[in-house]
Chain A
Amino acid sequence: MPETGRPTNGSNAGGVRVGVYVCHCGTNIAGTVDVRAVSEYAAGLPGVVVSRDYKYMCSDPGQALIQHDIQELALNRIVVASCSPLLHEPTFRRALDRAGLNPFLLQVVNIREQVSWVHLDKQAATAKANDLVRAAVRRVFLHKPLQRRRVPINPNVLVVGGGITGIHAALTLAEAGKHVYLVEREPTIGGHMAMFDKTFPTLDCAACILTPKMTAVGSHPGITLWTYSEVVKVAGYVGNYRVQVKRKPRYIIEDLCLGCQECVTACVYKEGKTPDEFNLGLSKRKPVYLPFPQAVPQKVVIDPETCIEFKSKKCKKTCVEACGDRQAIDFTQKETLEEIEVGTIILATGFKTFDAGRNPYYGYGRYPNVYTSLEVERLINAAGPTGGELLLRDGKRPQAVGIVHCVGSRDANTNRWCSKVCCMYSLKLAHLIKERTGAEVYNFYIDMRTPGKGYEEFYDRLLDEGVHFVRGRVAEVTDWAAHPSEKGKLVIRAEDTLAAFVRRIPVDMVVLSVGLEPQLDAQAVRRIFNISCSSEGWFLERHPKLAPVRTFTEGVYIAGACQGPKDIPDSVAHAGAAAAEALALIDAQFVELEPYTAFIFEDACSGCKSCIPLCPYQAISFAEEKKKATINEVLCKGCGTCVAGCPSSSIQQNFFEDEEIFEEIEGVLAYA
């Protein structure tokens, strides 16, 4: 046993014996806070039996030190001054538990994230650490042994979003024998990946690798697939969520529709009139349609906005006729609400692409031959509107194509972040465009970012293919010809920073490599699931490195591009990680909840009922026979709002009792 233990004033206040442990955290704390002085100071506080400082309290020897002291010195309260309690409170609580002390007789003082890392003045930092330790010692006096609540885990899982991330997560869980509800907003699953032609860097066709997974989702007995549906409400808590799903009417009885599309052929519209969402408006669809040939489920949809029957009620309904005996078409279908119970939730709601119109100087929407990269994905897709031929709006083949990187990325005027996938998909498009049209292809980039397996090699291959790489951000795209060779062309103006002069490059087609953004309704969605967003609007993970798919809400996981820009391999890996986290929870069969619930001193309760409306979980009710409020512990989530609102102080919260907080307040303010 190390002999750094300091003599204390030895006063034994009511049998309370406190041990104080000050962590150096290498130099993380010790570099700014005089840990020895803090430990010495703590040794002089009333009730402190032992006070030590140690290099790494969280290490095994550090924990053993506490355990040893508890047993040898009969300690019954522990204060650890170290990193944030959000990091190692569980570690130290386990240490107490192992030593036979109730884990809640511990108070952790945050002297790293909120002291040593944020202050430069060593003296002030040490004084602050002393104050915080003093408050903790005073507070821990009042701590009471508490018991965690165990709740069972419902093995069903909800996966929100049917892109490649959601698909992979759902399949992984279903294969593990769990029941999965996969909810997708669009009429089909597949997400953005279904729109792509080829995938980088291997150039395997997106449909070839995606559609088998899509059909597997559609036919898996363990997956309930609800497309054209949205989650509207989530209640409950980890392991026991109650979720309401809104199912929009597709005016087709899914169980009866075979996907034969005879109704589509028979529709009174001989030609499509509505911009096709899946092809980004580059083609037209009818009011009754299948989003794309490999859609899952293979069920058509009727769009009430454009269907004549909905407008005039006077349509000949040739579709119904074509459907015949199957009678799958139902114009009277209404929106329904389904309620399901799940134990865990995986959010895989993906991203949206940047609206290129926000950068007007690139001429998107003004010049017909300025496209977004996603549109070009559709144009070069064999199943796309042009059958895979890259043609300009006038049907001609482009002779020169400019690909503009970082549109809506790395730009303080729009989005500051790097969208991560654009370099690689731009290279892919450059390759495909050159291959299909033989055009001169110019890439305008700021930095070429190709960190991934086989990615740099792909870039090298593109270099060899003779694609031009101009390092510089494009200033503008215009149709103003400053030279005879520019007549009738779109002129891209950028500095070639490697050549160190400005270049004007006339092209026939401009591809804007748009960045990735959070979905427009990301804020609304995160509120439904009670999670946070980063300042950019991406869903916030619990820890950027060590808990990338967890959130601060237990049992709710995030996966894929809803957490930040990701390519397909990363999204799939993320999906697997989220599924594994959910499975780990399910297989544990129960989860322990913190015991921070509220309770009532019935003697003091006046029955004023003012607490009852304060509780968002309806955990407080009024017992008429006693004329007192009662709290249902199972429903209480431990926020403490009712405690603060009780006019007679007759509600208290475990671990956050009024007296405990008062001690802490007075502790930080009392002069030594």
Chain B
Amino acid sequence: MRNRQLTRAPQPQAAFEPRIVAFFCNWCTYLAADLTGTSRMKYAPNVRVIRLMCSGRVDPQFVLDAFAQGADGVLIGGCHPGDCHYQEGNYRTLRRYHLLRRLLRQMGIEEERFRLEWISAAEADRVRNAINDMVERVRALGPLQLEPKREDREEVAV
């Protein structure tokens, strides 16, 4: 189930559809994404959103895992600086984001594949724009080329 080699193969080269994993905080960006829906704005269907209570919960491992499992891009959405529901969680996010970006660059992952956006609960249009813009940029970059790595975590019993 987690064999990336197997899973990546069937993707036809001609129509590359980037796959992007997004981590949205519960209080701002996830709400904004809901508002995008209630406002019936349309955006590219390439993003899969994972809801966390705060962008500060985004463990760098999550990002690395997403890339390892086949994501072509990772998007983090949090409240604007100073607006964090938990006072300062998003400042931690920002710090980790900068570190992680440097690390990813060293791993050969283009900067544009990893993105942090501040989107408040009212900014539905920013959700749409951020997603559409990122999908286009990642599409231009093409599929993420990583050497398949050995699983470094234990399988969860299923």
Interface residues of A (CB under 8 A from B): 13-14, 46-47, 84-86, 110, 112-115, 117-121, 124-125, 127-128, 131-132, 135, 138, 141-142, 527, 530, 532-535, 540, 552-553, 596, 614, 616, 637-641, 643-645, 653, 656, 658-659, 661-666, 668-671
B60-113: which residues lie under 8 A (CB-CB) from chain A?
Answer: 60-62, 65-66, 69-71, 82-83, 85-89, 92, 96
Give the nearest-CB partner of A137 in chain B.
Answer: B158
Tell me if A665 and B62 are in contact (CB < 8 A): yes
Residues of A within 8 A of B54 (CB): 639-641
Cα-based distance from A645 to B91 in the complex (angstroms):
12
Tell me if B37 and A118 are in contact (CB < 8 A): yes
Tell me if B31 and A114 are in contact (CB < 8 A): no
- A121-B45, A124-B45 as given contacts; A641 in contact with B57, CB under 8 Å: yes
Tell me how far the C-beta of A620 lies from the nearest C-beta in chain B, rounded to whole angstroms: 14
B116 proximal to A (CB < 8 A): no
With A113-B34, A533-B122 given, name 19 new contacts (CB 8 A): A84-B34, A110-B49, A114-B49, A117-B36, A118-B45, A138-B158, A639-B54, A639-B85, A644-B96, A656-B57, A661-B59, A662-B61, A665-B62, A665-B66, A665-B71, A668-B21, A668-B50, A669-B19, A670-B7
- A640-B52, A665-B65, A665-B66 as given contacts; A117 in contact with B40, CB under 8 Å: yes
B137 proximal to A (CB < 8 A): no
Tell me if A641 and B86 are in contact (CB < 8 A): yes
Tell me how far the C-beta of B117 lies from the nearest C-beta in chain A, rounded to whole angstroms: 15
Give the nearest-CB partner of A643 in chain B.
Answer: B57
B28 proximal to A (CB < 8 A): yes
Interface residues of B (CB under 8 A from A): 1-2, 7, 10, 19, 21, 26-28, 30-31, 33-34, 36-38, 40-43, 45, 48-54, 56-62, 65-66, 69-71, 82-83, 85-89, 92, 96, 120-123, 128, 153, 156-158
Tell me if B65 and A662 are in contact (CB < 8 A): yes
Give the nearest-CB partner of A535 in chain B.
Answer: B122
Cα-based distance from A14 to B42 in the complex (angstroms):
41
Q: B121 is contacted by which of A114, A540, A656, A665 (Cβ under 8 Å)?
A: A540
Tell me if A113 and B33 are in contact (CB < 8 A): yes
Q: B53 is contacted by which of A117, A131, A638, A664 (Cβ under 8 Å)?
A: A638
Residues of A within 8 A of B82 (CB): 527
Cα-based distance from A640 to B58 in the complex (angstroms):
8
Tell me if B33 and A114 are in contact (CB < 8 A): yes
Cα-based distance from A575 to B77 in the complex (angstroms):
34
Tell me if A13 and B157 are in contact (CB < 8 A): yes
Residues of A within 8 A of B121 (CB): 532, 540, 552
Cα-based distance from A653 to B26 in the complex (angstroms):
15
Tell me if B48 and A128 are in contact (CB < 8 A): yes
Tell me if A532 and B122 are in contact (CB < 8 A): yes
Cα-based distance from A119 to B51 in the complex (angstroms):
19
Residues of B within 8 A of A659 (CB): 156
Tell me if A118 and B41 are in contact (CB < 8 A): yes
Tell me if B51 and A85 are in contact (CB < 8 A): yes
- A117, A131, A138: which has the most chain B beta carbons within 10 Å? A117
B interface: dominant SS: loop
Residues of A within 8 A of B42 (CB): 118-120
Tell me if A639 and B57 are in contact (CB < 8 A): yes
Residues of B within 8 A of A113 (CB): 33-34, 36-38
Jot down 10 A-B pairs with beta carbons below 8 A, ordered by A.
A110-B34, A118-B45, A535-B123, A638-B53, A639-B57, A658-B61, A662-B62, A665-B69, A669-B69, A669-B70
Q: B28 is contacted by which of A532, A638, A658 (Cβ under 8 Å)?
A: A532
Cα-based distance from A219 to B15 in the complex (angstroms):
74
- A114-B37, A637-B86 as given contacts; A669 in contact with B66, CB under 8 Å: yes
Q: B157 is contacted by which of A14, A131, A527 (Cβ under 8 Å)?
A: A14
Cα-based distance from A670 to B62 in the complex (angstroms):
15
Residues of B within 8 A of A664 (CB): 50
Cα-based distance from A124 to B96 in the complex (angstroms):
33
Tell me how far the C-beta of A6 lies from the nearest C-beta in chain B, rounded to whole angstroms: 20
Tell me if A13 and B158 are in contact (CB < 8 A): yes
Q: A671 is contacted by which of B7, B31, B60 (Cβ under 8 Å)?
A: B7
Cα-based distance from A50 to B12 in the complex (angstroms):
33
Residues of A within 8 A of B96 (CB): 644-645
Tell me if A47 and B158 are in contact (CB < 8 A): yes
Tell me how far the C-beta of B6 lies from the nearest C-beta in chain A, rounded to whole angstroms: 8
Q: A540 is contacted by which of B48, B49, B88, B122 (Cβ under 8 Å)?
A: B122
Tell me how far the C-beta of A129 lies from the nearest C-beta in chain B, rounded to whole angstroms: 10
Residues of B within 8 A of A669 (CB): 19, 21, 48, 66, 69-71
Residues of B within 8 A of A132 (CB): 48
Tell me how far the C-beta of B122 lies from the nearest C-beta in chain A, rounded to whole angstroms: 5
- A668-B21, A671-B7 as given contacts; A114 in contact with B52, CB under 8 Å: no
- A14, A532, A540, A637: which has the most chain B beta carbons within 10 Å? A532
Cα-based distance from A509 to B74 in the complex (angstroms):
60
Give the nearest-CB partner of B79 in chain A.
Answer: A532
Tell me if A141 and B156 are in contact (CB < 8 A): yes
- A535-B122, A666-B69 as given contacts; A639 in contact with B86, CB under 8 Å: yes
Tell me how far the C-beta of A99 lies from the nearest C-beta in chain B, rounded to whole angstroms: 24
Tell me if A670 and B1 are in contact (CB < 8 A): yes
Give the nearest-CB partner of B69 in chain A.
Answer: A669
Tell me if B59 and A643 are in contact (CB < 8 A): yes
Residues of A within 8 A of B31 (CB): 86, 552
Q: A141 is contacted by which of B36, B57, B128, B158 (Cβ under 8 Å)?
A: B158
Q: B57 is contacted by which of A47, A644, A668 (Cβ under 8 Å)?
A: A644
Tell me if B45 and A119 are in contact (CB < 8 A): yes
Tell me how far the C-beta of A89 lies from the nearest C-beta in chain B, rounded to whole angstroms: 10
Give the nearest-CB partner of B9 in chain A.
Answer: A671
Cα-based distance from A179 to B48 in the complex (angstroms):
48
Tell me if A666 and B65 are in contact (CB < 8 A): yes
Tell me how far the C-beta of A669 lies from the nearest C-beta in chain B, rounded to whole angstroms: 4
Residues of B within 8 A of A110 (CB): 34, 49, 51
Cα-based distance from A532 to B65 in the complex (angstroms):
32
Give the nearest-CB partner of B127 in chain A.
Answer: A118
Tell me how far the C-beta of B137 lies from the nearest C-beta in chain A, rounded to whole angstroms: 19
Cα-based distance from A84 to B30 in the complex (angstroms):
9
Give the nearest-CB partner of A121 in chain B.
Answer: B45
